[in-house]
Structure 1
Amino acid sequence: MLTVGIGSSFAHFSETVSQEVVNAFKKDFSGAQDVSWESGKTFAKATFKMNDQVMFAYYSKEGELQATTRNIISAQLPINLLADLKKSYGQYWITDLFEMAANSSTSYYITLQDGEQNVILRSNGAAGWEVYKKEKKAI
C-alpha cells in the first residue's frame, strides 16, 4: 500500500524531465507529495508539498540538486534580519519573501514596496541585508 502511495506521488512529471532527475528527486525528497515538474533550458524545477508546505527544488539536467526554496512569513526570518528590516525598511510593505538553501548555506530574498519604488533585498545567511535590485514604480 505504501509503495502505491509513494509511486503515485511521483507519477505526474513532464516527459521533458529526465529519469535521472526524477530519481535524484525521489532520493532527496522521499516524503514529497503532489509533485509537478517544469523544465527549462538548463534546469528542471519540481514543485511539491512536504510537511504541509509547498516547496520548490531546482535540479541540473544531470540530476544534481542546485537549490531548494520555500515561501516564508517575516516571523520566520532570523531575529537580527527581522530587526534590521524593521529598522531600515519600516515604511515598506512586504510583497514576497522566500528562503533559499543552496551549497550548504541559506539565503533570504524579500521584495518590498512603498508608494514610489520596489526594492529587492538579499541576505546571505543571517549577516544582514544588501540591495539586490531597486526600481521605480510605473506611474
Structure 2
Amino acid sequence: MKTKIAFLLLVATFILISCSPSVPKVIEEAFLRRFVGAKDIMWQRNSEQKWIAIFYSKKFDYMTAYYSKEGKLEALETEIYEEEIPDDLVDNVYLKYPNSLVFSVFRRNTKVNTDYIFEIVNNGQLFGLYYSGNGTTNIIPADNIRFTSRIIIEND
C-alpha cells in the first residue's frame, strides 16, 4: 500500500512539474528576493494573467503571494486562526449559512485593503466567501483555481 501511494505521489509530482507554466524571470527574482528560504514553491497563472506563488515559510506555514506580470507583489495571503478572525465576519457567515462548516480562513493583505476569505462546506457544497476590505462580499465557486489546484490523496 505504501509503495502504491509513493508511486502515485511521484507521478503527481512529475505531472505538476511538467505542466507548470514557465515563470517570467522578473517575477521569480522578485519573489526570491522577498521570500528568502521559501520552500515547496508552486507557481500558477490565473485568468487575469497574474502569477501566484504558493509556498512554505517557516514562520507562517503555507502562504500565497500574488504578483503582477511586471513582478510587483500585489497581495499576500496567510491562513489565520480563531483569535485573528473578526467576530463580525464569523457572525455574518453563520447567519447566511447556518449549516456550514468553516474549514479555513485566510487574510489577504494588499496595499489598500485587508480582505478575508472563508473556505466553507455548506450542505455538501464547497465554496469560498471573499470579504473585501471595502465592504463587498463575493462567492468564490468550487471550480476556482483556489480549490481546483489542490491534490487530495485518500487512503483506500
- Mapped contact 2:129–2:137 kept (Cα < 8 A): yes
CA distance 1:134–1:48, shift in 2 (3 Å):
closer
1:88-103 alignment to 2 at 5 Å?
88-103=96-111
Shift in CA distance, 75/88, structure 1 to aligned 2, threshold 3 Å? farther
Compute the TM-score of the two structures, normalised by the length of structure 2.
Answer: 0.57
Question: What do residues 26-72 of structure 1 show as CA deviations (whole Å, max 9, x unaligned)?
Answer: 33334x42052424272322222220411011212211112222233
Q: Which residue of 2 aligns with 1:43?
A: 50
Per the TM alignment, residue 132 of structure 1 is displaced from its structure 2 partner at its CA by: 2.3
Of 81, 86, 102, the match for 2:89: 81
* 1:112 counterpart SS class: strand
| Aligned-pair identity (%) | 22
Match of 1:28 in 2: 34
5+ residue gaps, structure 1, are 1-13
Between the aligned partners of 2:56 and 2:140, the Cα distance in structure 1 is: 30
> What aligned pairs does 1:53-92 form with structure 2 within 5 A after superposition?
53-92=61-100
Runs of 4 or more, structure 1, over 6 Å off, are: none
**Equivalent residues, number:** 120
What is the alpha-carbon distance in structure 2 between the residues aligned to residue 109 and residue 66 of structure 1?
16
C-alpha distance in structure 2 between counterparts of 1:26 and 1:124, whole Å: 28
1:85-110 Cα shifts (integer Å, max 9, x gaps):
34443321124432222233111122
Q: After superposition, what is the alpha-carbon deviation per residue over 1:108-136, rounded to whole angstroms, capped at 9, x for unaligned?
A: 12233333655642212395x7352579x
The one-letter amino acid paired with 2:35 is F
Helix, strand or coil for the counterpart of 2:92? helix
Check whether the contact 1:93–1:114 (CA below 8 A) recurs between aligned residues: yes
Determine if contact 2:100/2:122 at 8 Å carries over to the other structure: yes
**Contact 1:80/1:126 (8 A) holds in 2:** no
**Structure with the higher fraction of residues in strand conformation:** 1
- Superposed CA RMSD in Å reads 3.3
User: Does the CA contact (< 8 Å) of 1:38 and 1:46 recur in 2?
Assistant: yes
Q: Is the 8 A contact 1:70 1:100 kept in 2?
A: yes
- The 1:96–1:24 alpha-carbon spacing in structure 2 relative to 1, beyond 3 Å, is same
